[in-house]
Amino acid sequence: MRPFKVIRPTNEKEAMEQVSKGNASYLAAGTDLLNRIKEHVASPDSVVDLKSLPGMNTIEVTDQGIWIGALVRLSAVSSHTDVLSRFPAVCETIIHAATPQIRNMATVGGNLCQKPRCWYLRHEGYSCVKNGGTGCWARDGENEFHGIFDNQICSATQPSNLAPVLVAHEAVIEIASKDGVRELTADQFFIGPSSDPLREVSLEEGEFVRRVMLPESTRAGSWAYEEAREKQSFDWAQASVTLLLDRGGRKGDHRVVLGAVSPAPLRRSDIEKKIDGSDDEIAEASGIAGAGATPLSENGYKIPMLKGLIGKAIRSARSRKEG
Amino acid sequence: MHEPRESNDKKAERKSPSNDDLNLVGTPFRRVDGRAKVTGQTRFADDLTFPRMVHMKLVRSTVPHARIVSIDTSAAEKMPGVLGFLTGESMPHPFGILPVSQDEHALCVDKVRFVGDPVVAIAAITEEQAYEASLVVKVEYESLETISNVEEAISTPEPRIHEYGDEGNLHKKLSMQFGDTDAGFEEADEIFEDVMYFEGNTHLPMEQHATVALTEETDRVTVYSSTQTPHYLHRSLTKVLEIPAARIRVIACPNGGGFGGKSDPFNHEICAAKMSLKLGRPVKISLSREEVFYCHRGRHPVLMKIKTGVKKDGTLTSQHLQTALDGGAYGSYGVASTYYTGALQTVTYNLPKYRFDSIRAFTNKAPCGPKRGHGTPQPRFAYEVHLDKIAHKLGIDPAEIRMQQLVDPESVTSNWLKVGSMGLGKCIEAVVEGSGWKERHGNLPDGHGLGLACGSYLSGAGLPIYWNHMPQSGVQLQLDRSGGVALFCGETEIGQGSDSVIAAITAEVLGIDLKDIRLCVADTDLTPVDLGSYSSRVTLMAGNAALQAAERARDLVAKGAAEELKVPAKELVFAEGRVFHGENPDTSMSWQDAVIAAESRFGTLGTTGSYVPPRSPGRYRGAGVGPSPAYSYSAAVVETRVDRETGIYRVEHVWMAHDVGKCINPAMVMGQIEGSVYMGLGEAMMEEQVYRRLPKKRSNALVHKHPSLLEYKSPTFADMPPVTSYIIEDPDPNGPFGAKEVGQGPLLPMMPAVANSIFDAVGVRVDQVPIAPHMVRQAIEAKDKGKEGRFGPKSFPEIDFGTPLRVPTPEEGGDGKAVNIDEAGVRDGTGTMTERTDAVKGGE
Ligand SMILES: Cc1cc2nc3c(=O)[nH]c(=O)nc-3n(C[C@H](O)[C@H](O)[C@H](O)COP(=O)(O)OP(=O)(O)OC[C@H]3O[C@@H](n4cnc5c(N)ncnc54)[C@H](O)[C@@H]3O)c2cc1C
Ligand code: SF4
């Protein structure tokens, strides 16, 4: 591994200054960043350790919702009683992410800002639109795990398990920036390649995520999370479905967000509309899973897989409600 | 002198032991290396450090096939801490594990053959300095066409990856016919044919390879290494370093897992020794995980076509198997692997006529070699799935079709393998019973299935890797007045428990405590030769050598004790640290006193034991691969739940029965069974060592798809189902106490049993491994659409295997020899895989 300098800023301003100097990266737990350094796909001269900043490691429960600091470990979120009781889908998606060891280390901020798993992007031998070059190797190459929606420019999928559920809950992402704090909703935060192929999240130079808020107003009446992956113990998803029913007690206020099939979490209001309690809602909803999909040579299987997952999610959310 | 024993001594009240009673063998005694392993005291090669030790790194090729135009180390020489370099010219002699494939160099000379091939070695004071320096070495290459798979190797005979081999880029090509297979097919009521694929995968030992070499005098070198085969490494070092063997000492450290991945002599081991000689300092190299993926020598990817003639009642009449192996860039054990993809098809079910054709291609990928089951899991997968299909089509229970035609014990197969004890029937019965197979197979609800498959493996290859008449295992015992016994043996502990096995056999015979045995193993200066921990040979071969040495020691001590106790030596019994008179246990003395009695009479005490396997009946060229003193047998039933909607499946339970002949230690046997189940599951479900091409402008290189533990998928605890193991004991006359192997055999049934269970669950076939959920999903989708519910390879390439070597079977009155040597264009053999002429040629 290439040596690098570790900088421990004492305040947010210093952190932003340090990271803007030369070739530097923010560091949280390092479970993603260090892998990329080891694999020679990232080579920062210095890393700015966010863990030295105060106040980003707490979960705060308010009437408006639950604020989760960017440095809170994934396992701390999934075992937090208030998160569990009010936003159980969030905990479920976390439990599907990585391994217990990784979840004990990995932070929420790092999870949202991890780089995609495209195996071309993660090999030092390739350059493509995503790392400043041109073209996409996966398009005509090996794309078994790539996206089937919005995949014209870059088909690498958003790897974060948290991303879809945050979009479904319309979570607020609080960002520290040079001009103070700014907020984005999760669906504004995660971006696709047409906005900027170099980024997956809309953080500007020097900015970092301070905390995330799960709004009380989006608590679900029932919910489900279904995920398919190649290896069952731990693996990144091949496809996932996050389903929230009757959010905020509003009948029919559903959310269906697909994960691991597109560059940003994909909300599917067309599918939401089919979930109407009718007898054939499952067939109707899963039947249109592939609408708008443009599968590549090796990933067409994701459409039938999504169909299966949507059916399972509806059954599971319905039975949870009844049970 | 010994104290007179009190008559109320507890020992005397116990049942008087006789030689038929085993005290230690067969009990779950604690491993002799167990405590050190779990408390972190075991010293693996990477734990070693010596005064003035320096570190070495290898600069590896970044291109898959190229001529080396120039090597520029000038920038690296100026880097801090750098002490020295080596390049290929300094070690011009080729080496390789098999005498017939001496095709490797310690560092590449002229040419590189895969991404990861080492070109330059650099030593520096610290590992980081060596690494930093390795980054600035400039190697200029002139690219050659890259061969990425078997098809390309066939269609691209030039440029050749190696200047030797059967033709073009085919390393090995063979065709053998045992009996009149055409007549066999004519007798059949139905003929079945399948094409199957087994993807390559790697061993993934926890310990990454490491070596430390020390130069004691100017021309003496000691090499500590994580190797399974110190003896073969010793030979390669002699050859490449041009130093007499007697001046090279190889010590195999305990291996943190090997599984076949540390059975070849490796370039980094030779470079460390050379560098140490050059610098006069200890030199260490510890490979990174990425480099371990480049060392590889793992499972060959094999495409197979299997055709079998069957009578209506399920009786097999004839089989024709064709296999095509993707060998990677070097020979390694490949010639043996090639034969192994056919050799053991005959030892489970009666196969009266059998034809086997095979090729092994050179490709520009990390070299393949032996991995647990060496060459046999691939055809076993094909055979067991094929048989499941046959049984289904004929309406015969899959367990029944196997039971009705088991090979007889003490028989000779159509390809001239001598089978000894044969416990497969008992294995099948155990798993059928345990899993509730009869009631549940075919009757479980949709999405739930049971699959059954079997396997067999060698208890040691019958022949050594190079031609010789010497023992394949040796043990030396040294006894003295302390009562302690020093046991010297060249065997290598790779985690499989071989230290415990030889110690237990010795302790059993001498009737002493395991703790009184001091082991000195795997040290070419001090221990008698043992060929290594490969081919599941150690329990049987080193075990027999230990048995012989121990019996000789017992007889020697008995002579001394007999005089002292004034009873005939042959009436003495050795147990519980004492020597008893069998008839009258009150007459006894302690073991220590007995040794003192013997040492007083005969002087310094020592005995040796050695083992040479029996000669195999096969006399045709190629008959050297397959024979073994004894075959182990295994049967598995796997229960699987498949989700139709996603294709995701979970193995929920495994029942595995293994015929180990005689169990030396049930805890260790179960450990091997469960470990094999685990590894087999990985191969069945997810593991693959696969490659991808770099873009044209970046040399078009063929790179490993995921040389990291993050991306190379392998099961974890959470993927592991409950396993019910059955230890079946069908003692083999050739095994020590009847023992056969267990290290590799139980892996074999796993892959086909998983595939068969998926069929039982959802009625579709995936004819390849690993089986990814999407393959199951695609097969289900195809079936739903009215097409064949199958995912797998479509066809086998047209290959001219040449005229088969025709060998009449024992049933046809053959004598083990081929009848058409001239026509087939091969020489007849003595049954050895590497004959004297080859050995001499290869060795010089
Ligand atoms: C074996 C394994 C399996 C995994 N499986 C899954 C999975 O199934 N699902 C899943 O979602 N993830 C998975 N992951 C990824 C894992 O969740 C992430 O690596 C982890 O969440 C990253 O958090 P971290 O704190 O370690 O981030 P780091 O590695 O420290 O940082 C990751 C990136 O985010 C940036 N960053 C970190 N914090 C901030 C912040 N507050 N603001 C702005 N930028 C920031 C860093 O600069 C860096 O680029 C897996 C990882 C491993 C190793
Ligand atoms: S999918 Fe995206 S990241 Fe991967 S090669 Fe294409 S452009 Fe690059």
The answer for residues whose C-beta is within 8 angstroms of residue B800's C-beta and 6 or more apart is none
pLDDT one-digit tens code per residue, B764-800 = 999 999 999 999 999 999 999 999 999 999 999 999 9
pLDDT value of position A39: 85
Tokens of B751: 């892959």
Please say which residue of B611, B636, B657 terminates a domain.
Answer: B611
* Residue B458 shares a structural domain with residue B474: no
Share of chain B above pLDDT 70, in %: 95
Between chains, do B708 and A3 touch, taking CB under 8 Å as contact? no
- Class of residue B794 by CB neighbours under 10 A (exposed 0-12, middle 13-18, buried 19+): exposed
Give residue B825's region: left, alpha or beta (phi > 0; psi -120 to 50): left
**Which residue is it, tokens 């135009």?**
B69
A35 at B interface, C-beta within 8 A:
yes
Q: Residue B554 is encoded by which pair of tokens?
A: 């017992």
What pLDDT does B134 receive? 96
pLDDT grade for B708, boundaries at 50, 70 and 90? confident
Residues B395 and B480 in one domain: no
Looking at the domain assignment, is residue B285 inside a domain? yes
| Predicted confidence (pLDDT) at residue B295 exceeds the cutoff of 70 | yes
- Residue A95 CA to its chain's centroid (Å): 14
Averaged pLDDT for residues B75-94? 98
pLDDT at B721 over 70: yes
Q: What angle separates helix B750-762 from helix B773-784, to the nearest 10 degrees?
A: 40
E strand map for B73-108: 82-87
> Does any domain span residue B129?
yes
B409 within 8 A of B420, measured Cβ to Cβ: yes
Residue B585: asked if its preceding bond is cis (omega within 30°), the reply is no
Contact between B475 and B609 (Cβ < 8 Å): yes
Task: Return the exposure string of B166-205: e unless at least 16 CB atoms fall within 10 Å of the residue's CB, then b.
Answer: eebbbbbbbbbbbbbbeebbebbeeebebbbbbbbbbbbb
Are residues B769 and B758 part of one domain?
A: yes
- Give yes or no for residue B321 having a pLDDT over 70: yes
Which ligand 2 atom is nearest residue A153's CA? Answer: 7
Is A228 close to B646, i.e. CB distance below 8 A? yes
Q: What is the pLDDT of residue B350?
A: 98
> What is the predicted pLDDT for the residue at B697?
64
Spatial distance between the Cα atoms of B568 and B576, rounded to a whole number of angstroms: 20
Q: What is the ipTM of this complex?
A: 0.90
Residues contacting residue A157 through CB under 8 Å, at least 6 positions apart: A116, A117, A145, A146, A147, A259, A260, A261, A262, A263
**pLDDT of residue B533 exceeding 80:** yes
| Cβ–Cβ < 8 Å for B464, B650 | no
Q: Are residues B312 and B420 in the same domain?
A: yes
Which pLDDT does position A84 carry in this prediction?
97
Residue B832 lies in a domain: no
CA B706 – CA B204 distance, rounded (Å): 13
Domain span including residue B510: 470-611
Q: What is the mean pLDDT of residues B155-159?
A: 95
Final residue of a domain: which of B611, B634, B662?
B611
DSSP code of residue B767:
-
A34 — contact with chain B (CB < 8 Å)?
no
pLDDT at B598 over 70: yes
Residue A43: beta bridge partners? none
Provide the Cα torsion B266, B269, B273, B275; round to 10°: 100
* Residues of chain B found within 8 Å of residue A119, distances taken between Cβ atoms: 692, 705-706, 711
Using the predicted structure, report yes or no on whether residue B831 has a pLDDT greater than 60. Answer: no
Amino acid at residue number B331 = G
* H or E element that contains B704: strand B702-704
Taking alpha carbons only, the member of B618, B819, B826, B802 closest to residue B180 is B819
Residues B310 and B389 in one domain: yes
Q: Using the beta-carbon criterion (under 8 Å), do A231 and B685 form an inter-chain contact? A: yes
Q: Which helix (H) or strand (E) holds A241?
A: strand A239-245
How far is Cα B82 from Cα B3, in angstroms, rounded to an integer? 65
Mark whether B649 and B724 lie in a shared domain.
yes
A104 lines ligand 1 (CB under 6 A): no
The pLDDT of residue B12 is above 70: no
What is the reported pLDDT for B10? Answer: 36
**Residue B372 sits in the same domain as residue B415:** yes
For domain A59-113+157-217, the CATH architecture is 2-Layer Sandwich (3.30)
Substitution target in B128, B199, B648, B711 with the highest count of A β-carbons within 10 Å is B648
Antiparallel, parallel or unpaired: β B805-807 and B723-728: unpaired
Q: Do the Cβ atoms of A233 and B717 come within 8 Å?
A: yes
Residues 6+ apart with CB under 8 A from B829: B619, B620, B621, B622, B623, B624, B835
pTM (two decimals): 0.94
Helix or strand run (H / E) with residue B123: strand B118-124
B306 and B346 housed in the same domain: yes
Residue B122 CA to residue B125 CA, distance in Å, equals 10
Q: How far apart are the C-alpha atoms of A59 and A24, rounded to whole Å?
A: 28
Closest Cα in chain A to B684: A231
Interchain contact A134–B (C-beta under 8 A):
no
| Pocket-testing residue among A48, A113, A190, ligand 1, by greatest number of atoms within 8 A of Cβ | A113
Domain boundaries, chain A: 1-54, 59-113+157-217, 219-321
Rounded average pLDDT over B107-120: 97
Which residues in A lie closer than 8 A to residue B703 (C-beta atoms)? 123, 125
Could you tell me which residue, A289 or B4, shows the higher pLDDT? Answer: A289
Which among A321, A266, A313, A312 has a CA at the least distance from the CA of A290? A266
Tens digit of each residue's pLDDT (9 = 90 or more) over B241-271: 999 999 999 999 999 999 999 999 999 999 9
Q: How far apart are the first and last CA of chain A?
A: 52
Considering only the beta carbons, identify the residue of B646, B686, B710 that sits closest to A309: B646
The pLDDT tens digits of the residues spanning B352-390 come to 999 999 999 999 999 999 999 999 999 999 999 999 999
Task: Name the residue among B510, B470, B465 with its Cα closest to residue B232.
Answer: B465
Distance, CA of A33 to CA of A47 (rounded, Å): 10
Q: What is the pLDDT of residues A236-280, one digit of tens each?
A: 999 999 999 999 999 999 999 999 999 999 999 999 999 999 999
Average pLDDT over residues B319-333: 98
Q: What digits encode the pLDDT tens for the residues A217-245?
A: 999 999 999 999 999 999 999 999 999 99
**What tens-digit pLDDT sequence spans chain A (323 residues)?**
778 999 999 999 999 999 999 899 999 999 999 999 988 899 999 999 999 999 999 999 999 999 999 999 999 999 999 999 999 999 999 999 999 999 999 999 999 999 999 989 998 878 899 999 999 999 988 899 999 999 999 999 999 999 999 999 999 999 999 999 999 999 999 999 999 999 999 999 999 999 999 999 999 999 999 999 999 999 999 999 999 999 999 999 999 999 999 999 999 999 999 999 999 999 999 999 999 999 999 999 999 999 999 999 999 999 997 76
Tens-digit pLDDT profile for residues B801-823: 999 999 999 999 999 999 998 88
Start-to-end CA distance of chain B, whole Å, equals: 57
Same domain, B498 and B432: no
User: Which class would CATH give A219-321?
Assistant: alpha beta
Contact B335, B842 (CB under 8 A): no
Q: What tens digit of pLDDT does each residue of B431-456 get?
A: 999 999 999 999 999 999 999 999 99
Domain CATH number, residue B537 = 3.30.365.10
Residue B3 pLDDT exceeds 60: no
The DSSP call for residue B794 is -
- Quote the pLDDT of residue B219: 77
Radius of gyration of chain A (CA): 19
Q: What is the DSSP string of A8-45?
A: --SSHHHHHHHHHTTTEEEESS-TTHHHHHHTTS---S
**Which of B611, B645, B676 marks a domain boundary?**
B611
Q: What would you measure as the largest C-alpha separation in chain A, in angstroms?
A: 61
What sign has the CA pseudo-torsion B733, B735, B736, B740?
negative
Is residue B99 domain-shared with residue B224, that is, in the same domain?
yes
The answer to whether A18 contacts chain B (CB < 8 Å) is no
Which chain A positions have a beta carbon within 8 Å of B645's beta carbon? 304-305, 307-309, 311-312
pLDDT, tens only, A298-322: 999 999 999 999 999 999 999 997 7
- pLDDT-wise least confident of B191-200, B265-274, B314-323, B821-830: B821-830
Residue B810 lies in a domain: no
User: pLDDT tens-digit profile of B124-133?
Assistant: 999 999 999 9
Number of domains in chain B: 3
B479 and B585 together in one domain: yes
The mean pLDDT of B296-301, rounded to a whole number, is 98
Ligand 2 is surrounded, with C-beta below 6 A, by: A 118, 120-121, 128-130, 136-138, 146, 154-156
Residue B493 counted as domain residue: yes
Instruction: Answer yes or no: do B594 and B627 share one domain.
Output: no
Chain B residues whose CB is inside 8 A of the A304 CB are 645, 777, 781
Residue keyed to tokens 């592939």: A290
Q: Are strands B649-659 and B723-728 parallel, antiparallel or unpaired?
A: parallel
Omega before B159 within 30 of 0, i.e. cis: yes
Token pair 């479509």 in the structure block, residue: B794
pLDDT value, residue A126:
85
Chains A, B: CB pairs < 8 Å: 75
Contacts of residue B456, Cβ cutoff 8 Å, sequence gap at least 6: B344, B347, B348, B424, B631, B632, B633, B634, B745, B748
Q: Say what the pLDDT of residue A57 is.
A: 96
Q: Which region holds residue A199: left if phi is over 0, alpha if psi is between -120 and 50, else beta?
A: beta
Domains A59-113+157-217 and A219-321 in one fold = no
| Strand-pair category, B572-575 with B190-198 | unpaired
* Residues on chain B touching A114 (C-beta within 8 angstroms): none
Among the ranges given (A144-148, B1-5, B592-596), the one the predictor scored with the smallest mean pLDDT: B1-5
| pLDDT given for residue B20 in this prediction | 59
CA distance A302 to chain B (A): 8
CATH 3.30.43.10, domain A1-54, yes or no: yes
